[in-house]
């Protein structure tokens, strides 16, 4: 059985990773979505174990110390991390999994999973990105300023990724990501092992 494929959806703050991922959940229910741990407080409507596993700083540090996280990053004053065991189990069961994480974490995952597929979600323009971060209206001015400066640096990391998807419309972005998933499943490498195994049971050409 082939291992599943690890997809990482990343990109600058405010680009809409969370919204695109939520829309993908409806369109692709068979894809597995990793739920991160975070020390940030829940926003209205967020649920434990669905949006995040909400942890205290002590609990989060314990997860780091016990190697329970595949990667973790500090982002605008809070910790975020991907629980390791769930990702490894899902891949070994031959199922695909997607991580929706910020760029520092994505680069750390890339060091460990070179075979992962890294998708960078882009804003249609930098000005649009600024409007989205300001328009969210859930954060203080200091947090907004911090998020804007972080987002500008994050845009420079595009070259580390395999694909770039512009998030102009959520449906368009989802279709592009679904096309990427299909394309990755059609890569010849995924067939070669099985093909050579099967061909070994065929007569050699010069004996025919």
**Contact set with ligand 5GP (CB under 6 A):** 13, 17, 36, 40, 71, 73, 75, 80-82, 100-102, 104-105
Q: How far is the CB of 21 from ligand 5GP (least distance, A)?
A: 9
CA separation, residue 128 to residues 124, 148, 169, 178, 183 (Å): 7, 12, 12, 24, 29
Of 58, 52, 107, the closest CA to residue 80 belongs to 52
CA–CA separation, 103 and 181 (whole Å):
20
CA–CA separation, 183 and 71 (whole Å):
26
Q: How far is the CB of 52 from ligand 5GP (least distance, A)?
A: 7
Q: Which is nearer to ligand 5GP, 41 or 207 (by Cβ)?
A: 41
Q: Which is nearer to ligand 5GP, 74 or 194 (by Cβ)?
A: 74
Task: Using CB positions, name the residue nearest to ligand 5GP.
Answer: 105
Q: Which is nearer to ligand 5GP, 36 or 167 (by Cβ)?
A: 36
Q: How far is the CB of 138 from ligand 5GP (least distance, A)?
A: 9
Residue owning tokens 């989802």 = 174
Q: Which is nearer to ligand 5GP, 25 or 187 (by Cβ)?
A: 25
Q: How far is the CB of 115 from ligand 5GP (least distance, A)?
A: 19
CA separation, residue 136 to residues 132, 147, 192 (Å): 6, 12, 47
């Amino acid at each position: 059985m082939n291992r599943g494929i690890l997809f990482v959806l990343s990109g600058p703050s405010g680009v809409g990773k969370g919204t695109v991922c939520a829309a993908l959940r409806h369109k692709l229910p068979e894809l597995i979505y990793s739920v991160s741990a975070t020390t940030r407080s829940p926003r209205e409507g967020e649920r434990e174990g669905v949006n995040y596993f909400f942890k205290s700083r002590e609990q989060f540090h314990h997860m780091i110390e016990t190697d329970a996280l595949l990667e973790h990053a500090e982002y605008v004053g809070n910790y975020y991390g991907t629980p390791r065991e769930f990702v490894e189990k899902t891949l070994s069961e031959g199922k695909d999994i997607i991580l929706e994480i910020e760029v520092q974490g994505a680069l750390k995952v890339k060091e460990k999973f070179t075979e992962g597929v890294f998708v960078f979600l882009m804003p249609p323009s930098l000005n649009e990105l600024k409007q989205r971060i300001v328009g969210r209206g859930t954060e203080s001015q200091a947090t907004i300023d911090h998020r804007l400066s972080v987002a500008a640096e994050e845009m420079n990391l595009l070259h580390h990724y395999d694909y770039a998807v512009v998030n102009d419309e959520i449906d368009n972005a989802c279709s592009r990501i679904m096309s990427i998933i299909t394309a990755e499943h059609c890569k010849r490498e995924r067939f070669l092992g099985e093909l050579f195994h099967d061909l070994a049971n065929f007569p050699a050409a010069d004996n025919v």
